[in-house]
Amino acid sequence: MLAIPILAVFLASNNTIALVPSGCRGPDPAIVSVAVKHVDQNGTVNVYHMRGTVTNAGKRAQTSNVLQFVDIYLHGEKVDSRGIPPLRPGQSYSFGYDFQRSSDAADGSSRFRFQIDMRQPPGSAQDCNPSNDTFTLRV
């Protein structure tokens, strides 16, 4: 495989990472970054290797029974998800996602949205600030 320099990849993100609001005293998982780490070319297909990070920006640890994911959407359609373990305050967890598309595709033509999906327990007990649960990226 031939590696394509990262400079050849157009990346755009409109994210502003929200800080913990003063009323948020519990756990706060936040998607703090998603970026293309490198691109491999395999014939007429480019493989984009993405890496994202979720951090507990809150003041408390999540409980051990929390069940949470980062759902991955391409042009509004869910294409995959990644499990995220319970996090202590300040602790981060990285996840990967690989995406294949034609080498003829225009830069910036693929829009990804990464969204925290809190399954268990329901409600805001494990995420007191949902405003930082989404990250968008164009490649």
pLDDT in tens, the chain (139 residues): 444 444 334 344 445 444 444 467 899 999 999 999 999 998 999 999 999 999 999 999 999 999 999 999 999 999 999 999 999 999 999 999 999 999 999 999 999 999 999 988 766 678 989 999 999 999 9
Homologous superfamily, domain 2-138: Immunoglobulins (2.60.40.10)
- In this prediction the pTM is 0.83
**Sequence letter at residue 25:** R
